[in-house]
Amino acid sequence: MIRAIKGTRDLLPPESGLFEEVETVAREVFRLYNFAEIRTPIFETTELFARSVGEETDIVTKEMYTFQDRDESSLTLRPEATASVARAYVEHRLWEKPGLTRLYYMGPMFRRERPQKGRYRQFYQIGAEVMGSGAPQVDFELLEMLTLLLQRFGLTDAELLLNSVGCPQCRPAYHEALRKALEPRLPRMCADCQRRAQTNPLRVLDCKVPEDQPIIAELPVLKDYLDLGCREHFQQVCQLLDSAGIRYRLEPRLVRGLDYYTRTAFEFVHGALGSQNSLLGGGRYDGLAQVLGAPAQASQGIGFAIGEDRFVLALQAAREKAGAIVPAGSDVFIAPVGAEVQSACLALARELRAAGLSVETGEAGRKLGKLLELASRTGARFALLVGEQDLSGNQIPVKQLATGHQQSVERAGLSDYLKQALTAAPVTAGEVGKS
């Protein structure tokens, strides 16, 4: 049997419906903040990611799907989308348009990691970027938009973690101080930290080994090394959040794994996600566009990416907790009584669909009992029992499957009756999905 390859999966109903719902609501919320969609290619030159994400990052050194095209150029399946958006910003000189560039995207990303709960090799991200301004106000509005999106789904138990990671001007001093402080302490730390001290010293701060915690507490804190500009920027972001009543937790040890981040860095974490608890992450990346060819004064940017798979996981947990059920089936199931009403039933279905109802048609000629059983078990909300005499009398029996209540309805007023009844009637007692 041919199976989906490791780390990839088929999104089937009812779960695929949740992805659709998350995307729909995200689009609505993005529209409120005047974001428009960008669709970038799913593969790019390898160089783009090496230059923007960072040559030494884990993503670039060991997680990318890179391959040779037939002309021998090196291409890579996108591991994230900010690089592509920045590339498009530069390629189309978007800074020359009036106002800020506010773009959102959604789609699959690819990283070759060992699969785990909430971690896949093909995974889905929903993200947005604001380019062309370094104002703290922009950071604030982005975070506010995210809290609104989480609110829309009732994920109010997600927690915002906030930090400033400085800029290329002040970070080297911190790096130096950190390295000095680490040197004498390293022998007492775990093997991972000893390795990280070489590859990515900032990640030492993120270590979870209990024995290392007292040592980490003694290390210099990035906050104390921020230059004036970075410090004021961060302070203003915090003030704006405070005055809007948005809760957050300062996390001086929050570190991002991509090289392009500057100043504001944030993450929303959620308890239902297991060890991959980061629901979404993002931050400012003020120099990125310049690296790719934008003029310095237009190269500021900030953005985030939501892990859609994780978002859905959290949503499922929340809905399960709330005991929510959703109808899985069609609005209407048409049950033909006898083989000779086939085409009349199909015409009726056409009529109801034209009125906006979702209609499933039972196979003409099957026993009515079987058809009703099918209607009920597929979660249809109403069944129409359509035989010769019903058609000739222009009275169609309509059965509400959850209650068993049945009444005849004038054919001409059928779609209006159904639409009205659908909003009033309880959800089917038939098969329901786990949300």
Query: In the bound complex, what is the minimum distance in angstroms from residue 376's beta carbon to RNA?
Result: 3
Pairing of strands 122-131, 36-37: unpaired
Among 22, 372, 409, 418, binds RNA (CB under 7 A): 372
Binding mask 81-120 for RNA (x = CB under 7 A): ------------------------------x-xxxxxxxx
SS3 content of the chain, % helix, strand, coil (to 5): 45, 20, 35
Binding mask 30-59 for RNA (x = CB under 7 A): ---------------------------xxx
Query: In the bound complex, what is the minimum distance in angstroms from residue 93's beta carbon to RNA?
Result: 26
Residues 403-432 that bind RNA (CB under 7 A): 403-404, 406, 428-430
Query: In the bound complex, what is the minimum distance in angstroms from residue 295's beta carbon to RNA?
Result: 26
Contacts of 393 (CB under 8 A, 6+ apart): none
Question: Cα separation of 24 and 54, whole Å?
Answer: 33
Among 198, 243, 389, 423, binds RNA (CB under 7 A): 389
Cβ–Cβ under 8 Å, residues 232 and 130: no
Question: Cα separation of 284 and 60, whole Å?
Answer: 20
For the beta carbon of residue 39, count every other beta carbon within 10 angstroms.
Answer: 11
Under the binding rule (CB under 7 A), the answer on residue 323 touching RNA is no
Closer CB to RNA, residue 348 or residue 375?
A: 375
Q: Helix 136-152 and helix 15-32: axis angle, to 10°?
A: 140
Among 276, 290, 316, 342, binds RNA (CB under 7 A): 276
Which among 142-150, 222-230, 238-246, 394-402 is the span making contact with RNA, rule CB under 7 A?
394-402
Pick from 405, 348, 401: nearest CA to 378: 401
Query: In the bound complex, what is the minimum distance in angstroms from residue 96's beta carbon to RNA?
Result: 28
Which among 24-32, 239-247, 301-309, 342-350 is the span making contact with RNA, rule CB under 7 A?
301-309
Question: Cα separation of 159 and 144, whole Å?
Answer: 13
Helix (H, G, I), strand (E, B) or coil at 273: helix
Among 49, 349, 390, 418, binds RNA (CB under 7 A): 390
Closer CB to RNA, residue 190 or residue 346?
A: 190
Residues 236-265 that bind RNA (CB under 7 A): 255-258
Binding mask 179-218 for RNA (x = CB under 7 A): -------------x---x---x--x--xxxx---------
Query: In the bound complex, what is the minimum distance in angstroms from residue 340's beta carbon to RNA?
Result: 11
Element (H, E) at 408: strand 406-410
Question: Cα separation of 121 and 63, whole Å?
Answer: 9
Among 368, 421, 422, 432, binds RNA (CB under 7 A): 368
Under the binding rule (CB under 7 A), the answer on residue 336 touching RNA is no
Under the binding rule (CB under 7 A), the answer on residue 23 touching RNA is no
Pick from 319, 327, 363, 358: nearest CA to 345: 363
Residues 127-186 that bind RNA (CB under 7 A): none
Query: In the bound complex, what is the minimum distance in angstroms from residue 228's beta carbon to RNA?
Result: 27
Largest Cα–Cα distance in the chain?
A: 94
What's the number of CA atoms in the CB half-sphere (13 Å) around residue 416? 5
